[in-house]
Amino acid sequence: MTIHVIGAGNWGTTLAKLFAGTNRVSLCTHSSEHAAEINIQRENQRYLPGIPLPGSLTAVALADAVFDADDVVVLAVPSRVLPEVSRQLRTAVVGLPLICATKGFQHASFKTMGQLVREMIPESPLIVLSGPNIARELASGLPSKAVLASHDLTALTRVARTLRNETLVFELSRDVDGVELCAALKGVIAVGVGIADGLALGDNMTALLMTYGLREFVEIAEFLEIRHKTIYGIAGLGDLITTCISPNSRNRRFGRLLGQGTGTKEALSQVGMVVEGVQMARTIVEMGDLNISIPLFTMIARAIFEEGIPLRDEFVNCLIHSR
């Protein structure tokens, strides 16, 4: 049995390293050149430098990967390419358990990443992985927890047993859509925290932002009928706190650049990775007609998509007058 981790960025490489402690792991890269680099150097110098990789992990170009009937597949590619990668994999992985470790929300279809994978490969049991997980911390051996969620109880228990490791401990859930929607929603608040940081508004205002942000987070989550256990669990509140306070959070880094006056396009370029909060913010804009009171989420969306607004004044006004 082999665990195939699709995507050799920092997150995919981290998961591959963790799972290779007790399993044979194939880390599938975009190119054969990158796979060769990893195998020779025994680390992913492009995306996770300084972290040695175990001998039970082998990198291979995705085009050369071979899947057997008892294998497990982990999808850890950027959200923007997940639909295309799923299409490419469809015939090769039919029937194999698919763990979607990619967070995000596709604005055009109003679907989570797991929903997109399920639509592309409906014959395979789907499990989503989410939680307060900063890749480099886990790769360095710092412990944390995550949630594995699936409607298929048999696949869920098998995958939980297969992925067991000493660093990342799993809770199990049946609330698949709730776990994914919480992961998408928290990115918007983290962008807001970054904006406050970039504007040098101080810790007091950041505390206000996280307080009112959590309230709106719950408001949206309840409207979407996400279970309270998920909202206040590690895939909801736990992931939200980590993403807001960690300097390694790409959502927070993106927001900080906005607060410092960098334009959206340039800020995304400087972060260099997908910022999930941006796609969810596009969806938030369209939720204005749903009679949900989310002034802070709306303000953060405006900061992302509207150029030239008096960001500091409007941000402060939104927070001070929230009730």
Active site residues: 186
Maximum CA extent, the chain: 58
3-state secondary structure of 302: helix
> Among all chains, which residue has been given the structure tokens 């995958």?
159
Cα angle for residues 236, 242, 247 (degrees, 5° grid):
150
Nearest Cα neighbor of 16 from 73, 62, 66, 69 is 73
Give the rounded distance of the alpha carbon of 304 from its chain centre: 19
Residue 245 identity (one-letter amino acid):
I
Nearest Cα neighbor of 212 from 131, 293, 309, 283 is 293
Give the rounded distance of the alpha carbon of 175 from its chain centre: 17
> Among all chains, which residue has been given the structure tokens 């490969």?
121
